A and B are shown apart, each in its own frame.
Chain A
């Protein structure tokens, strides 16, 4: 492979550097974007094509124990979707939860080069890291679950915030994670400990501790900010999926008190109505709050019609939904610092709730004043497979297509939302923001999501096509670290991606407190729990602690 390359004649969309469709050259040397390269450097002629940074997915479930369980749980889903190997790539199985290699290749085919796994209990860190290592091509990292951690709950109960912060930092180091994830903070703990009880308000007491979810949320948001993590606390709010949950979402965002926080798949948390009854759309209220509060960012978690898998660390939610379809479901990750439930699912256009969810997601996109803080996700595979992204992009970019699709959905649900009144169409530049530039910025990955000098040369080149779904379905060329691996829609190499982690400093004395807790409650020895540095190769993303 030659280490230098020049991309010529392409229309460049690089929102982070305010380049909007200009025809320019991009020069690449040794995996990075540079000012210039010698005249005789090999060229890619991107005439009539669109050049963007490689896609960045801020929230997908691509590896870890529950992803793997969902694979094992649905052999029938893999059957009709084999992923054959090629001269350069390995084979795998597709379906709604593809195998590791296939996940990497399929994401790469869409033009994505960085994907974050969204929720893994720290006890399963080794598993997820090994699986990420085998997820082809992509750069990746994962968020470690901390919202239902008994040790942290105890520290919080005693008001020992210094120790709390040190323990969080120890856990991040021990698990080699990228940031803190909260899923239904306090809710799993309660559900596991108290016969399927759920928490409905974030100011309710968690039964086994003298604290509330609000305290957990606040403490973890503060800690992520204080430790200077590149990406703030990543929050899956309480009451997800329940009618009337938008107040919980607003409360959660207010709990941040101006500090940075990311609310994930917020569509699932934007419902009005009475609990137990049909939901209504509260996209406007949620959108207004986010528009006015620049400390909050979110990804949408769009629902797309067709097959999906509800795969969540929110065990109480899975338990509630277990009989929605008279099919199989399963719980896992119960005896650790989290919970989990998996339910194969299908979103149907004629169903009121499903249509409402679809419409709320689109409302959130179309009402967002700042696309840098409302980015694209389907919470793969919860709202639908990541393979739906091209279709979702078309829904955002093409008003007529949206209207045409809207004609086929449940009209009662549709008319209760304002979707038909929203005429906004996303531009290519805005799509580049919500699929690349913004997620990279929110993740604090300074070398990703843009094409400025010094950036990683992760670049996607699409054929320009009026049908945006077709356009974004398969990239013409994709480069990873300057290495061309998709050429004329075909794989021509199989580069290996990195695993990102953070390693914030902490006071080692906290280990003397955690060790006895392990001796007493864990099935794993304290010394065996942290992932050894030699276990997998990772790249540490710097943290900037607040003094």
Chain B
């Protein structure tokens, strides 16, 4: 099924129903008649989207989606392909299936996700794969691939899963991390790994560590080769030198459990 924006919303449109899981089994007319919140008003989805085709586990979205929030919320299966820039909360709470976005996403990509994968062939906003404010844990599983850059707090409070950023990440990468892996092929902002308990934050560039991290050694982690080869398979550009390179290992955060690690590639 393909949904094309014919009238871009002027204020945020809460489109949590836009996922293969919640549209399964619905006809074109039924999908057009679904109710969404446009600002504080309830309106039919058909007011904004023209709907074409049958739903067979694959959903395509196209057009100016920059005010459409919550796309793919709670998605459990199927595939979704999106052309255009989307608003926040893409794939939040998703547990399975696959989202591919050709465009940029705003904040809270994959917030609280437990499974499945999100690929963004553009940039992402703040809080990629993060937990909601105040929560002790965020992402519990699944994979998020961002080809471009992302902003602050990538992998905040994540507990399991993989967040890979092809470009640069903002400040506080891996903030409050409980476990899991964040890989940034570009540069990270400041205060990486603040208050992390466990987990790994890996970058291919030097970073300024906060004082509560301590340098432990420089070594060649074997597990990283598997990760980097996997990222190469899914389409990231991986330099051969990274595969066998040496990495500085920093332990922290000492104000927390001190069992986390930050690995920085040393050319």
Query: A: which residues have CB within 8 A of B?
Result: 73-77, 79, 327
Q: Taking the complex as formed, is B133 at the interface, i.e. its CB lies under 8 A from any CB of chain A?
A: yes
Residue contact B136 to A75, C-beta cutoff 8 Å:
no
A76 to B135, CA, bound (A): 5
Contact B136 A73 (CB under 8 A): no
Closest Cβ of chain A: how far from B156's Cβ, in Å? 13
Alpha-carbon separation in the docked complex, A76 to B131 (Å): 9
Binary interface profile of B, 102-140, with partner A (CB < 8 Å = 1, else 0)? Answer: 000000000000000000000000000000111110000
Could you pull out 14 A-B pairs where Cβ atoms are within 8 angstroms? Answer: A73-B134, A74-B134, A75-B132, A75-B133, A75-B134, A76-B132, A76-B133, A76-B134, A76-B135, A76-B136, A77-B134, A79-B132, A79-B135, A327-B136
C-alpha gap A460/B187 in the complex (Å)? 64
Q: Which residue of B lies closest to A79 (CB)?
A: B132
SS class, residues of chain B in contact with chain A? loop
* Least distance between B197 CB and chain A CB atoms (Å): 9
A199: shortest Cβ distance to chain B, in Å?
30
Distance in Å from the Cβ of A62 to the closest Cβ of chain B?
21
A72's nearest neighbour on chain B, judged by CB, is B134
- Report Cα–Cα, A79/B135, bound state, in Å: 10
Residue positions of B touching A, CB distance < 8 A? 132-136
Contacts of A77 in B (CB 8 A): 134
Task: For the complex, give the distance between the alpha carbons of A327 and B176 in Å.
Answer: 12
A77 to B133, CA, bound (A): 10
Complex Cα distance, B156 from A76, in Å, reads 14
Chain A nearest CB, measured from B107 CB (Å): 15
Shortest A93–chain B CB gap in Å is 12
Contacts of A79 in B (CB 8 A): 132, 135
- B133 proximity list for chain A (CB < 8 A): 75-76
Chain A nearest CB, measured from B235 CB (Å) = 35
> Which residue from chain B places its CB closest to the CB of A344 in the assembled complex?
B134
Shortest Cβ distance from A31 into chain B, in angstroms?
36
* Least CB distance, B41 to chain A, in whole angstroms: 16
Cα distance, A74 to B132, chains bound together (Å): 11
**In the complex, what residues of B have CB within 8 A of residue A73's CB?**
134
Looking at the assembled complex, report how far the CB atom of B134 sits from the nearest CB atom of chain A, in whole angstroms.
4
- With A76-B135, A77-B134 given, name 4 new contacts (CB 8 A): A73-B134, A75-B133, A79-B135, A327-B136
Closest chain B residue to A327 by CB distance?
B136
* Residues of chain B contacted by A75 (CB below 8 angstroms): 132-134
Q: How far is the CA of A219 from the CA of B80 in the complex (A)?
A: 72
Which of B133, B134, B135, B136 is most buried by chain A, counting CB atoms within 10 A of its CB? B134
Which residue in chain B gives the minimum CB-CB distance to A73? B134
Output the nearest chain B residue to A328 by Cβ-Cβ distance: B134
Distance in Å from the Cβ of A322 to the closest Cβ of chain B?
A: 14
Please measure, in the bound complex, the distance between the C-alpha atom of A414 and the C-alpha atom of B132, giving whole angstroms: 39
Closest-CB distance, B112 to chain A (whole angstroms)? 10
For the complex formed, measure the closest distance between the CB of A342 and the CB atoms of chain B, giving whole angstroms: 13
The complex places the Cα of A76 from the Cα of B111 at a distance, in Å, of: 13
Complex alpha-carbon distance, A69 and B206, angstroms: 39
Contacts of A76 in B (CB 8 A): 132-136
Q: Kindly provide the distance from the CB of B157 to the nearest chain A CB, expressed in whole angstroms.
A: 10
B153 CB, min distance to chain A CBs, angstroms = 15
A77–B136 alpha-carbon span in the complex (Å)? 11
* Chain B neighbourhood of A74, CB < 8 A: 134
Looking at the assembled complex, report how far the CB atom of A84 sits from the nearest CB atom of chain B, in whole angstroms: 14
